[in-house]
Amino acid sequence: MIIFSPLQQFEILPLVNLYFGFFDFSITNSFVITILFFVISFIFIFILSDFKNNNIYIFFSRWGIILNDLYLLIIGLVIDNIGLKDGAKFFPIVFSVFLFILGLNIIGLIPYSFTVTSHFVMTFSFSFFLFLSINIITFLNHGLKFFSLFLPGGTSIVLAFLLVPIEMISYFFRPISLSIRLFANMMAGHTLLKVIAGFVLTIMTLNGVYFIFHYLPLFMLVPLFLLEVGVALIQAFVFSILISMYINSAINLH
């Protein structure tokens, strides 16, 4: 299928239509890519696993070294933001979030695939349920003291009428800011790649000396692609940092 617009690559297309009354359970390209990620992840962990000794090898293979580096990166992040004691409990969550976002971002860079994280509905749903889980943790740990998050200690009654609404808006805007940051960066980078790739194809269709000029934007695609790989990693890392900070606030109530 020919893509006429750089934004057409983000279109969610139904592959199998499934309707039950007013509910739409159609299988889309977004759903297929998400399931594909989980299948690839399972196969990847299965290859690195030793079920006889109930261990996972992350040190003695090429891919294992990469996984080990990511493991050390996230465990350092969790310890710095949550602490050693509490970080051990929440590390699996943060590490899973990091791998989930990074995997979907990287899959989106494969030609003819689909970037799931370029859609606000997906990133917001993911951020919202993480935010909801963090709030549940806060209530379980502190009960009604949870509401002290919106009123800093030592605040006068006059300032309370100003600070409480501001703090509440800032707090409940967290899942929105998380989702917007992720989807906007992924959409912008992929759109730029598609624009330049389309420009290259347009010049290549020209005759004569104009055909030579397609090499310049063509060579630009290589550093831009590497930049997008870096953005995919950075966005997953930033998302994990913010989730760690929110968990820390839920535990220590500050």
Residues of the chain with pLDDT under 70: 1-6, 48-64, 152-155, 206-215, 254
| Amino acid sitting at position 79 | I
**Digit-coded pLDDT (tens) for 159-168:** 777 788 888 8
Sign of CA dihedral 171, 172, 174, 180: negative
The predicted structure's pLDDT at residue 2: 44
Instruction: Give the Cβ contact number of residue 180 at 10 Å.
Output: 15
CB 30 within 8 A of CB 119: yes
H/E segment holding residue 20: strand 19-20
Token digits of residue 211: 């055909």
What residue has token string 């209530």? 139
CA-based R_g, the chain, Å: 22
Query: Mapping DSSP to helix (H, G, I), strand (E, B) and coil, where does residue 52 land?
Result: coil
49: left (phi over 0), alpha (psi -120 to 50) or beta: beta
What pLDDT shows up at residue 1?
43
Q: Which residue, 60, 93, 58, 55, is CA-closest to 74?
A: 93
Strand partners, 56: 49
pLDDT of residue 239: 93
Token code pair at residue 81: 């933001």
For 47, residues 6+ apart whose C-beta sits below 8 A from its C-beta are 63
Please state, as a whole number, how many other Cβ atoms lie within 10 Å of the Cβ of residue 122.
19
Entry pTM: 0.82
Q: Which residue shows structure tokens 């917007």?
A: 180
Return d(Cα 244, Cα 254) in angstroms, integer.
13
* 202: three-class secondary structure by DSSP: helix
| Cβ–Cβ under 8 Å, residues 18 and 24 | yes
Establish how many alpha carbons lie within 13 A of residue 205's alpha carbon, considering only the half-sphere containing its beta carbon: 6
Q: Which neighbouring-strand residues pair with 28?
A: 14
Contact 109, 229 (CB under 8 A): yes
Burial 61-88, CB ≥16 within 10 A → b, else e: eeebeebeebbeebeebbbebbeeebbe
The SS3 assignment for 107 reads helix
